[in-house]
Structure formats: C-alpha cells, structure tokens
Chains A and B, each alone.
Chain A
Amino acid sequence: MIDDSPLRIATSRPSRTTVVLTVSGDLDFDTAEELVAHASQLLGAETGAICLDLSELYICDSSGLSALIHVSQDARRVGATFAITGVTNQLRRILEVTGLDTVLGTEPVRAPASRASKATT
C-alpha cells in the first residue's frame, strides 16, 4: 500500500469500550489534524477509554502537542479516560518542559507492552 502521509494511525479495540491508537511517524503541523479527526470519529458515548501508543512517534512539534491536548479534551467531553503510552525519551522531555505531563492527566511513562491493559484503567 502506498501511504504518502508521514503519519500513520492504527486502531485496535482490546475491549468493547477501549480504543487504542498506535500513532507512528511525524505528528506535526501537516498531520496533527489527521489525528484529531481520526480520534473524534472513534470517540462516542460508549467509549470508556482512549489510549494513544506513541512508541513509534518520531516527530512531535507544537501542533502535535496541540493535537494531543485536543484529543484528551474530546475524550473528557464524552466521559472517556485518556492515556498515552510508549513515550520516548525525547517526547517525555518535551512533555516535561511544556508541563503537558500534568495537563494531560496521564502518567506518560508506561511501557508500550502494557498498553492494552493500561488503557482500560
């Protein structure tokens, strides 16, 4: 398959109410909207939790951070918990500097291996 977007989003549903998005590639000015649109499509009243696995994320600029905030707020609106996993060292540093680790209300340090189970917590 030819995919010319530098951002790839894979969706999985470990349980009926949990959505896991594996976000890989570049989350930046050009692609941030894709993530927001993709997530808002999946979020509904039945969503209990949405989890973003960012272990394959290569670039995350300010527009990318904005998209993460956007998704977390959309999740809150429908009453779903929001979590991110697989935070790389580089992204963790960015989240620390911006204070987003607190704002997003997540513990963005869990290993991606535990993503499915953590997403439901």
Chain B
Amino acid sequence: MTVLRNVSTPPPTHLLHAVLDATAEAVLLCDEHGAVLLANAAARRLLPDLQAMNEITDETDVFELELHGRPLRGRRQPVDETHSVWTVHDCTDEMARAAAVAQEKERTAFLAEASRRLSASLHRGRCVRTTVELAAAHLADAAVVVLPPARRRTEWVRAVTGSRFETGTMRERDVDSVPGLSEALAGFPPVPSRWLDQTQMPASLLPDGFGEIGAILVTPLPGNGVPAGALILARRAPGTFSEEEELQARIFAARAGGAISAAVLYQEQVETTAILQADLLPPELPRIEGLELAGAYRPAQDAARIGGDFYDAYPRTPSAAPGGDDAETMIVLGDVVGKGPKAAVMAGKVRQTLRALRLLESRPEPLLRVLNQALIDPRDRSRFVTLVLASLVRSGDGWRVTCATGGHPPPLILRAAGRVEPIAAKGTLIGVTGPITIETAVVELAPGDLLLFYSDGLFEARGGVGGREAYGEDRLADTLATCRNMPATAVVERLEQLVSDWINGAGHDDIAMLAVRVPPRHHHPVNLRRTR
C-alpha cells in the first residue's frame, strides 16, 4: 500500500516532466516573447502547431478556439516577471454532454408541446392533423398517419415539413406494401427502422417531388384495445433513425394515439346521442284549420346534455276503427327528468305512447292515467316526465280546450284584450306513483286568444342582474301580457328573445314553448314552425 507523505527535497527533472505529461490538460511554459520553453504530452498532442499559440498569447489571458475540430479553452497565469504558464483544456466531451442535455430538453419540450396541442381537441380529424404536423415539424421530413381501415377504405393524412397537410385513401394492396404498416395497424410493437426497407414504400404515399427516401420508421398509434392508426415517418437523409429518435417517436405516437382514440370515443358518443336526440327535435307542426301554431325549442348549450323537453301537435284524426270516435286535435308539451341519452330514450317512449293512445282516447285525464301506468318502472321509480295535454274542439267561432297536467306548469292564456290568465289544471307527475290526482280544466278560447305551453326551463332560466335569478312565472306572465294582438310566431319569438337577454349567454336548461292562437276574425291563419 502506498503511503502519501510530504517530502522535503524536490524530485528530479525527469519526474517533473512525467508529472506534467500525466495531466490531461495541455501545459505550456512561455517566455515574454511567446517562445515555448516547455510543453507537456497533452500540449504536443492538442497543439502540434505551436505557432498558433503565439498569435493568441499577445492579446489575452483567456481564449477559446477550435483547432483540428476540437473545441479548446485556455488560460494564462504568470509565474514570474518574464514567464507564464498556459493551461489548455479540450472541451470535446463536455460539449457533447451539453449537446445531449440540450437535445433531451428539446425532446421533452417537444413532447410537452405535443401533449398540449393534442389534448386541445376532441375532434378526430383535428387530432390526426395535429399529429402529422407535429411529426413533420420535429421528427422527420414527412409524416403520414394511416387510419384503421373502415368500410373497406383506408384513409391517410400526411404532412411534409413546411407545408400543409393532405388527405387521401389507399388500397388494401398498398397497405401491405408499406414495410411494417399492416403489423402496426394490427397493433404489433414497432419494428426498428434499420429492418425496414425504405425502397418498398409506395411513392403514392408521399407527395410528388419529395425525392429519394433515406429512412422510414413505422409506429403504431396505440388506442383503446385496437390501435388508433399507424404513424409513418420518412426522412431524406440516408441512414436509419437512431435509438433515441425511435424512442421519441414511440412516446409521441403513444400520446397521439391516446388523443385520437379519445376523440373517436367522444365522436361515437356524440353520434349516438345525436341519433337518440333527433327524436327530441321539434317536429314540423301540422297545419290545423282555425289555429295558428308556433313552437320554439332552445336546446341546452352543451350538446351532450340536452334534456328531454318535447312538444307535439296532432290535428283531428278520423277514427281508425269503423264507428269509433275521431281523435280530437291535441297538443302535448312535456319535460323528461334528466339529460342526455337516458332522457332522450324516455322522451321517445312518452311521445310514441301518446301518439298511439290519442287515437283511442281524446280526454286528457284518462290518457294521462294510462300513460302513467305504462311508464311506471318498478325498478326505477324516480324517473318521471311532467307534461301538459290539451284536447281542442271547435266551439262556435273559437275552441274549447280541455287541459290536464301531469306535474307540469299549466299553459297561460293571453286573452285578445291583453289579460293573462293561468289555467287551473293541476296533476301529479307521471311515472312515479300509481295513484295520481289530476284536476282537469276546461277553457274557451275566443278569436284572438292565445294559449302558451312552456317547459319549466323557461321560468327557471337563470340570469338577470346577478346572473342567478330565475326568470320566474310572474315575469313570464308579465311578458306575455305585452304580446297582445301578436301572431303566435311573433309571441314565441319575443319570449325567446327576452329570455335570451335574461340569461345573457349563461348556461341554461332546454327551453321549449308552443303557442296556439285562435286567429282574430278576418284574419288568415298562419301556421309556421320555428326551430333553432
């Protein structure tokens, strides 16, 4: 074992030289003219051309320069009046490490940016476009996303660095001809770039004039169970993608795949909901002789949360059974509890049941009782519908309205003279309990009178000065009173406008309303439908 200790006598010169030679830094001893008196081994290796040193030594005590491809950093320290020592350091390794760190930082920044941009949209097309644009900007000269085959078509979206994305479709044969593509679309792990023959890549997948392909990389875009597609990266420079680049491409593909499949799921859900809710859209109101009808439906702002407001109007229909009674003119407006697909399905049930029942029974009260029995679900007695049913028959030059409600605000009457009267109908909500109470009201409508049916979204609309105040029944009645002599369409439009001002852009429930007016004498009937 070597023991280090202080020595009193200096070592011989050849040992001092050996010590200098053993250091990694270049060490030079110069006189005041710049002449090199002594150079160690590192100095002779790094600075074979000592002349170069002379040029620097005059000017400065520190220097940085590149010599024979090596970055060097040097420093002068005077040792006495006339002599100085230069130490010169080779920074090649340091610089390489710094470059690697910078590259890693750049990759991380890119992936963070990619995540941010990819998560900004739940639209599949936009997610795919973002994927190719990001990949073409950061990972390769060209990027192609090939989507899973659907309806025997395989779509692709591509981008070349510095230009806009393009889309197209490819044949099944072409999918097989791209090395590694069918495997990636089947969800197999990616094949290293060096095993992929870029010359097999069909020219049609890259734009004309892209030029020779140097290397390709094919990576699956992982999805929920099945891949969301595959990402093809192509670069012009010959050689393969490095391991780090492949890793980065895989991480990027995982994020892109996640974003795309989330968008696909969302889109499917929205489509399903849209199909269910198409049934909720206000129907084209029929033309009914001697009545003006106008409806408005203002769905909730959030499409996925559309509620179950609905209305229907049926004209008098001759009996289907020989000798039976005709089905009278009927108006129905209702609101199903909850939102989204569940509400849509229930609203569909209610409407269909009523559509059939009214052919057998024109009196609102028994109709509501049968509907109640039909809707009670022993497994879930908290789902209900509130609705108002009105049966209308001609009476002199006006109409007689028989109205029953099942837990719904009764319609308001706006008399031709401008007075607003509530209808005294009252009843239990439908679908919760067997025994229900229903108090039917009968009112006469004279020419010029208007009947307004509305869903509770109308008087519950939150807004006003504080933004949280309900529109309210009283306000609704007051507003209706200002609609005297207006045609049904104008009344509905005005109410919609005023409620819209009230909520002033704030979120709201569905709002449905239907106005029925007996045209004033010497007036042509108007029958219009409004939807938004």
* Partner-B contacts on A (CB < 8 A): 29, 58-59, 61-63, 65-67, 69-70, 73, 90, 93-94, 96-100, 102-103
Contacts and interface: CB of A to CB of B under 8 A. Distances in A.
Interface of B: 305, 307, 335-339, 381-384, 386, 405-409, 426-429, 432-433, 436-437, 456, 460, 462, 468, 470, 473, 509
Contact of B338 (A59, A66, A73, A98): A66
Nearest to B462: A59
Contacts of A70: 382
Contacts of B456: 61-62, 94, 97
23 contacts: A61-B460, A62-B335, A62-B336, A62-B384, A62-B386, A62-B456, A63-B337, A63-B339, A65-B337, A65-B429, A66-B338, A66-B382, A67-B382, A70-B382, A73-B382, A96-B426, A97-B386, A98-B386, A98-B407, A99-B426, A102-B428, A103-B428, A103-B433
Given A61-B460, A97-B409, A99-B429, A69 B382 contact: yes
Nearest to A97: B409
Given A97-B408, A97-B409, A62 B338 contact: yes
Contacts of A58: 468
A98 B428 contact: yes
Nearest to A96: B426
Contact of A69 (B305, B432, B470): B432
B106 to A, nearest CB: 37
A69 B384 contact: yes
Given A62-B335, A62-B456, A93-B473, A99 B382 contact: no
Contacts of A90: 470
B431 to A, nearest CB: 10
Given A98-B428, A103-B429, A66 B407 contact: no
A102 B336 CA distance: 20
Contacts of B307: 62
Contacts of B336: 62
A43 B462 CA distance: 34
Contacts of B381: 69, 73
A100 B336 CA distance: 15
Nearest to A105: B433
Q: Which 4 A-B pairs have the closest CB atoms?
A: A99-B428, A98-B407, A70-B382, A62-B337
Given A61-B460, A63-B337, A99 B509 contact: no
